[in-house]
Amino acid sequence: MDLAASARIIAAAHRDTPGGLLPALHAVQDALGHVPPAAVPGIAEEFNLSRAEVHGVLTYYHHFRSTAPAPRVLQVCRAEACQAMGADALLAHAQQRLGCGLHGRSADGGVTLEAAYCLGLCASSPAVMLNDEVHARMTPERLDELLGTEVPA
């Protein structure tokens, strides 16, 4: 079964739920790792929406991906508390070390870099999440260790 057909089956399970589009899109991404563009027409049909409406939801929320992520996904919190505690510098460090910008893949293809808008660790900021594991009080040095890269001299 192709990804579009799988996504449609997943979406169909949510079509009778009031406001079911968002839960459906989350379920598709959880199952497939992303919401493939080819799946949008089928999802739209399940909810009796236009493709543009579904596309608008997908592009409005930064959480949704249209391409499969790398094996590891690093999310750097961009909420205000984390920014106040150095998340901007941490993000810049991550971009430099990985060789990519937000929503990009590391030079070796092993890590996708994304923004998160609150990981719930405001009192222990700045925070990151690597795959599904959160890490608080992150520093550039700790991030290097977490990613398994060398700490610059």
Over residues 132-151, the mean pLDDT reads 88
DSSP-H helix ranges across 47-152? 51-60, 80-84, 87-98, 140-147
Using CA atoms, how far apart are residues 81 and 56, in angstroms rounded to an integer?
Answer: 29
What's the pLDDT tens digit per position in 105-141? 999 999 999 999 999 999 999 999 999 899 999 999 9
Tell me how far apart the alpha carbons of residues 150 and 147 are, in angstroms, rounded to a whole number: 9
Q: Which residue has the tokens 């150095």?
A: 86
The Cα 14–Cα 21 span in angstroms is 7
Examine the pLDDT at 63 and tell me if it is beyond 90: no
Q: Which of 112, 137, 126 is nearest to 79 (CA)?
A: 126
Quick: pLDDT tens for 33-61.
Answer: 999 999 999 999 999 999 999 999 999 99
In this prediction, residue 152 carries a pLDDT of 43
Report pLDDT for 153.
36
Strand order in the sheet with 133-135: 104-105, 111-116, 72-77, 128-130, 133-135
Closest C-alpha among 13, 21, 9 to residue 47: 21
Chain position carrying tokens 């929406």: 49
Residue 149 has pLDDT above 90, yes or no: no
Percentage of residues in the chain with pLDDT exceeding 90? 90
Q: Is the pLDDT at 1 greater than 80, yes or no?
A: no
- Look at residue 112 in the predicted model and tell me its pLDDT: 95
* pLDDT at residue number 132: 87
Burial of 72 (0-12, 13-18, 19+ CB in 10 A): middle
pLDDT mean across residues, the chain: 93
Would the pLDDT of 151 be above 70?
A: no
